[in-house]
Chain A
Amino acid sequence: MTEAVLRTENLTKRFGGLTAVDNLSLNLPGRRLHAIIGPNGAGKTTFFNLVSGLLAADSGRVFFQGRDITGLKPHEVSRLGIKRTMQIKSVFPQLSVAENLWVTRHATKRVLHPFRAASSDLETRERVEHTLEQIGLTALAQRPAGTLSYGDVALLEIGMAVISEPRLLLLDEPTCGMSPAETERAVAKIKQLARTIDIVIIEHDMSVVFEIADDITVMAQGGILASGNPDEISGDERVREAYLGRPEDEDYVEEAIHA
């Protein structure tokens, strides 16, 4: 097994009386696409917030490629190459689509040039144009990001993740709110990305999860309920009870696996 790209030791986060992430020890090996699933309130997004530095853990540690990143600030985590998307789509609404990509590409540089015109940076401009083509938003490049449709914003988010050349990508419900056609486009993009980048994805759409994931971790009440490959998870009685329990969902999962 390759070295863990992301590892946590007894990670805990409490909000008042609620323990959102409870003594979580995870070990995610590299070169695999991991999905984290679980009912609402299982602590999935809190886990992402702890890794990306938006929240400080009460106890426990986080390691990225063997390096302890516990307690680093969001921009420090980001500069190590861990990029994430947000569950509620989050871009820079008053910047154009191209500028969103542009600023993301530049954000990791140590020094932001204070006087040279942004548009004169040819290397970045080519990258932006290439990424626009990749995500299929070339025609909308000059539109303010705040005026895009929901699905296009989600694609822009993926583009922003790609252009920053991440080493680990954390995707928080990337297909949430997308139409079936948009979901298909996003899934194809994620699959393609997974060939070169380590990805951890939180997703509620089971057909998406079972289509793309190599490994699945099921979270419930802040801890790990089960983990394994898609077949193991769909056959796990506890997971069925806790999460996939309702009969109509069971059919849905069966369908998804055999699709």
Chain B
Amino acid sequence: MMTPAVIARVMLIAFGAFLVAVPWLIPVILNKFWVSVIAEIMIWSLFAASVNLLFGYIGLLSFGQALYFGFGMYGVAIGVATLGLSFWPAFGLGIVASIAIALVSGIFAVRLTWHYFAIITVVFSLIFYFFAVSVKPLTGGDDGINFALPPTFSIGGVTGSFSDANFQYFFILATVALCFFLMHRVIRSPLGKAFVAIRDNDVRAALIGLNVYQLRLIAFVMAGFLAGVAGALFAFFGRYASASYMFYHVSGEAVVWAIVGGAGTLFGPVVGTTLFIVIREIVSTHWEHHAFIVGAVAILVVIFAPKGLVGLWNAELARWSERTNDASVKTKLRTEP
């Protein structure tokens, strides 16, 4: 019986199998370049998921997630280049740095909602953007920090390093998949249900006994964690960190990806990010104004599929399954004596 739940499971398995096969499959049908594009898409999907956790699940629209992405990047780059850390401590430093800054800014930001919240998140990211640009000795300013890649692990002569393209791809895949799995668990947990209750009706949520401020802060720090992991991965992926990734333009892109893909759905950000990065990669080589296409697609989706592409897909699937259920009921009735 093909219920929507079965179809979703089959698609998830097929999607997972495809991702595992990418390093062998893609060089054959396209070329090696697209393997690293797909790795990049996974990192940016994780970043869009951070916007989605806030906007789609607890109802806070952040235009400043790039700040936490940037802290993840700089944590890694400063850790490796300045402090001489190896892979894992630098990775940890990036994540801890982004969680810490998310906690500090969240304490102020989640007192506000809606456009006030959006504005304060932009302001925070701008403050740190200009700070990062001006503190040249620490951050490298506009040039950023380039660093030599440390090996991920080295056990008995076997070394895993991002300089091996396959290792890099699978490390990114595993980390992003783990983060999405954690998010999936949170969404289905009592905590996740409380998030959605606050998104739907925050006054009522307070009246049933939920500490709205505290829960919004928890969600904000979790989103900072997701953005920080994405930023740390991206630093290892690009072997550098730059203040330009803390600019609000980067935050805004993630908002578009999450909303077009489907805010409030686990895989919406993946769909949105994939769509726009593929458009960018294909069109930008032929036409420099690829942002026009991005804008047009975003406007069309917001008008015709307000719940995003995944929301549209889910609605169609539900309609289809209702129709087939009705049909099977009718057939049963007809066969009755």
Please give the residue numbers on chain A whose beta carbons come within 8 Å of chain B beta carbons, in ascending order: 52-54, 73-75, 78-79, 83-84, 86, 90-95, 99, 102-104, 106-109, 112-119, 121, 160, 164
Contact = CB atoms under 8 A, between A and B. Distances in A.
Contacts of A79: 209
B185 A117 contact: yes
Nearest to A53: B206
Given A91-B204, A92-B200, A95-B197, A78 B189 contact: no
A93 B202 CA distance: 12
Given A86-B204, A92-B201, A121 B190 contact: yes
B200 A78 contact: no
Contacts of A164: 208-209
Nearest to A144: B200
Contacts of A73: 206, 211
Interface residues of B, number: 26
Interface of B: 182, 185-186, 188-194, 196-197, 199-201, 203-212, 215
B204 A107 contact: no
A91 B211 CA distance: 17
Nearest to A94: B200
Contact of A95 (B182, B188, B200): B200
22 contacts: A75-B207, A75-B210, A78-B208, A84-B207, A86-B204, A90-B203, A90-B204, A92-B197, A92-B201, A92-B204, A94-B199, A95-B197, A102-B193, A103-B197, A103-B208, A108-B209, A112-B189, A116-B185, A116-B189, A116-B190, A117-B188, A118-B190
A107 B196 CA distance: 12
A200 to B, nearest CB: 15
B150 to A, nearest CB: 31
B5 to A, nearest CB: 13
B45 to A, nearest CB: 21
B242 to A, nearest CB: 33
